[in-house]
Amino acid sequence: MMVDRIKLVAAVLLFVAGLAAFYVYGSQPGWLRFGMVLAGIAAALAAGWTSQSGRSLRTFTRESIVEARKVAWPARKESLQTTAAVFGFVVLMAVFLWVVDKTLEWSIYDVILGWKR
């Protein structure tokens, strides 16, 4: 709808106005300039929140929170065991790749030095 587009354009303009105020009023104290940016962001959120996109975002956020509460989060013990398994595998792979690298290094240098003799 046209009204929603106008609201979204107004939200963007309010956000840009807040950022512009930060630089235009460069001689003002920092806390005041920061307040101008926050006021611009708050006004932009208020304008965007009332649009159809804002309502859709609110609905999506509420549904996401409900779904996140349904998740069966792992216990501390299970998390620590999984983390230990991952670290163990990483160390094992590091040692394996180091052995492969040193073997290739040794064999290639042996071949190259052997050909030079």
Q: Please tell me which of 18-32, 42-56, 83-97, 101-115 the model is most confident about, judged by mean pLDDT.
A: 83-97
d(CA 67, CA 63): 6
pLDDT for 15 equals 92
pLDDT for 102 equals 93
Q: Are 21 and 37 in contact (CB under 8 A)?
A: yes
Q: Are 15 and 41 in contact (CB under 8 A)?
A: yes
d(CA 7, CA 14): 10
Largest Cα–Cα separation, the chain: 84
Q: The whole model's pTM is what? A: 0.51
- Residue-wise pLDDT for 58-110, tens only, equals 999 999 999 999 999 899 999 999 999 999 999 999 999 999 999 998 888 87
pLDDT for 50 equals 86
pLDDT for 60 equals 95
Contacts of residue 114, defined as CB under 8 A and 6 or more positions apart, other chains included, come to none
